[in-house]
């Protein structure tokens, strides 16, 4: 028996996830807005203010889900981005493929330490404030770039999401059965990722715990725009190709998917190259013959481009295998953890 299209955890289901997130966020925002007036009637202006802030945050999250360009990221692509994120130098909003996006992972990213934000408050049974500070795997990220301000900076908001079953309770009274945002971070961008002190909840807090999220996004954005490393295919939620439309959300200028369109991001099947000991010979000195093959770790470089090659563009030089073709391969372990400072 065939499964209903879009019902499974797959690229075909991303549009369903986005709609479910939006509906749940709107319902939760309406519920909280109704409580604001009741709190004010009993003289709890402080509570009314907090409820109003939560309602606005839920409404904003719902709006992001409705407006987002949709992406499905394969496991190998997510792992390459995590490895590359360890030394990405900065985050640049112009590198974003869209001004607002939702990236859903085929396999979860490493668990994010919720104790960095003081833990979560979950709804379990009759209680609405059960503390929970365990790390939570990240199944999706949503981002939104705000309008530019003085000095050219912009505020970027990022929602970290997981599948609800990863938590022992609910985050909201109304939440999607497919994805739930368990924290929202914001930062001023562009920003260097070394000592980025403005990264954190609501743009406050020390940079170290949050730089990894921005670093991963920057790495993913850059890699997905590199045809020699990645393959991107665009399909609609119905399974049919759809026509792209110009990006009007302030991103790099890539095509932005339509409401039900999903961009699938995967590694290029021929992404690895081989350098033999003959290729590696340099200069007039004696040649050092390699007896094994090993992976040379990828690294970032600022590629010259533009008129007179005066401009610089961040580019990832991918891993490559060095050594004789018939030699045994000595592999290395890629980094699979959120970047720390």
Return the pLDDT at 322.
67
**pLDDT at 250 exceeding the cut of 60:** no
Phi, psi of 173 (to 5 degrees): -65, -40
Return the pLDDT at 268.
72
Nearest to 180 by CA among 16, 10, 25: 25
Per-residue pLDDT tens over the stretch 77-125: 898 888 888 888 888 898 999 999 999 999 999 999 998 889 999 999 9
Return the pLDDT at 3.
40
Nearest to 17 by CA among 177, 211, 244: 177
Better pLDDT: 220 or 202: 220
The pLDDT mean for the chain works out to 78
Return the pLDDT at 279.
44
Residue count (the chain): 341
pLDDT > 90 fraction of the chain, expressed in percent and rounded: 40
Residue 44 banded pLDDT, cuts 50, 70, 90: confident
Q: Taking residues 249-278, what's their average pLDDT?
A: 58
Range in 79-83, 108-112, 218-222, 303-307 the model is least confident about: 303-307
Return the pLDDT at 288.
56
* Structural tokens at position 145: 């770039």
Residue 249 banded pLDDT, cuts 50, 70, 90: very low
Return the pLDDT at 151.
59
pTM for this predicted structure? 0.77
**pLDDT at 221 exceeding the cut of 90:** yes
Neighbours of 227 (CB within 10 A): 9
Q: Are 51 and 35 in contact (CB under 8 A)?
A: yes
**pLDDT at 240 exceeding the cut of 60:** no
């Amino acid at each position: 028996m065939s499964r209903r299209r879009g019902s499974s955890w797959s690229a075909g289901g991303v549009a369903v996830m986005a709609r479910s997130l939006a509906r749940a966020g709107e319902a939760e925002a309406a519920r909280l807005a109704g409580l604001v007036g009741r709190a004010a009637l009993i003289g709890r202006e402080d509570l009314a203010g907090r409820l109003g802030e939560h309602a606005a945050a839920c409404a904003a999250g719902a709006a992001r889900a409705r407006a987002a360009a949709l992406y499905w990221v394969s496991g190998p692509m997510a792992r390459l981005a995590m490895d590359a994120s360890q030394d990405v130098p900065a985050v640049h909003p112009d590198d974003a493929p869209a001004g607002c996006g939702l990236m859903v992972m085929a396999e979860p990213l490493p668990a994010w330490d919720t104790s960095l934000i003081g833990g979560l408050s979950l709804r379990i049974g009759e209680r609405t404030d059960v503390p929970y500070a365990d790390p939570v795997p990240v199944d999706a990220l949503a981002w939104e770039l705000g309008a530019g301000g003085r000095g050219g900076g912009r505020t970027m908001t990022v929602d970290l999401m997981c599948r609800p079953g990863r938590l022992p309770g609910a985050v909201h009274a109304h939440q999607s059965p497919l994805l739930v945002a368990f924290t929202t971070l914001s930062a001023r961008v562009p920003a260097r990722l070394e000592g980025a002190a403005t990264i954190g909840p609501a743009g406050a807090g020390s940079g170290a715990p949050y730089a990894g999220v921005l670093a991963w996004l920057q790495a993913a954005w850059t890699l997905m725009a590199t045809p020699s490393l990645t393959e991107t295919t665009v399909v609609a939620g119905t399974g049919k190709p759809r026509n792209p439309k110009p990006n009007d959300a302030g991103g790099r200028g890539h095509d932005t998917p339509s409401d039900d369109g999903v961009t699938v991001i995967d590694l290029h099947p021929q992404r690895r190259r081989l350098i033999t000991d003959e290729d590696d010979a340099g200069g007039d000195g004696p040649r050092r013959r390699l007896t094994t093959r090993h992976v040379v770790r990828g690294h970032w470089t600022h590629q010259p481009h533009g008129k007179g090659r005066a401009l610089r563009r961040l580019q990832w030089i991918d891993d490559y295998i060095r050594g004789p073709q018939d030699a045994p391969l000595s592999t290395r372990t890629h980094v699979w953890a959120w970047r720390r400072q």
